[in-house]
Amino acid sequence: MTFLVEAKTTKSRYSLPAKDERALCDYIEDVKKHIAPLPAIRFVLIIGNEPSKTLEGKLSALQSKLGVAIRFCPAKFFVALRRKIPGPVSADEFSMAILSESLILTDNFVKMIASAYRRKHEALVNLVRISIG
């Protein structure tokens, strides 16, 4: 799976200013041109502080324009995810949680991944218990 991450460091609410949109479009198009041996871009994840009120509409337009799923994730959700999951996250579960959400990810994103992690962990613990006898 191929996906792109764009991390924003502004403390203010993120609104996808025109210069960021142009740069992101150029970046995505450049990656698409040079990605031949890898799978196509599955999604673009923008991580930042908090979304502005206008961000969802801008993301929707950009997603339609580029033909690639675009999502925004408040950075606090990655902090929450790391606190809930001490180990690696399955790439399939990660992408499914992102793509099943709205354009601006909610805390449901964290809940979905943490739940899948717990189910796998519990299954492994049970397997070890059964194997040990």
Q: What is the pLDDT of residues 79-88, one digit of tens each?
A: 999 898 888 8
Vertex 36, ends 67 and 4: CA angle to 5°? 50
Task: Please give the residue range of the domain that contains residue 93.
Answer: 2-132
Record the pTM.
0.87
pLDDT at 126 over 90: no
Average pLDDT over residues 25-32: 92
Looking at residue 62, its pLDDT comes to: 96
Q: Report strand pairing: 41-48 vs 69-74.
A: parallel
Count CB-CB contacts under 10 A for residue 113: 22
Q: How many domains does the chain have?
A: 1
Residues in contact with 96: Cβ distance below 8 Å, sequence separation at least 6, in sequence order: 112
